[in-house]
Amino acid sequence: MIVETIMKPVHYGMGADGIKFRGILYAGLMIRDGSLRSLNLTAGLEIRTQPVLSRLSTDLLDICLALTEGKLADVDVQWKPDPSVCVVLASKGYPGNTKQAGKSRAY
């Protein structure tokens, strides 16, 4: 569902706009009651990619090198069947209006 409704249209849209993107595009999604509530596209790796990458059997360096050379189709990307999870804490009301619980402190 996500690949067909979000990732492929983004990929084809970038191509139609003449954007030659070589890299990793991470989709951060918030889904509630079966509806997409928030979408964040990040070009690169970040903390939330850890649970996804923990399932990767193929060496990430091989994938990155192939990306830079335009040869990703030549890499046999393999995934472990193990589940993974990422827990994110967010303010009440996120992604809409949020409420601050109290004053923040700098340490």
Comparing CA positions, the residue from 101, 97, 95 lying closest to residue 32 is 95
Q: How many residues does the chain have?
A: 107
Per-10-residue mean pLDDT of the chain, 107 residues long, equals 87 93 83 82 82 93 92 95 84 73 50
3-class secondary structure, 37 = strand
Backbone φ and ψ for 27, nearest 5 degrees, come out as: -100, 115
Comparing CA positions, the residue from 22, 30, 23 lying closest to residue 6 is 30
Q: DSSP letter at 35?
A: E
Q: DSSP letter at 74?
A: G
For residue 35, the model assigns a pLDDT of 84
For residue 105, the model assigns a pLDDT of 44
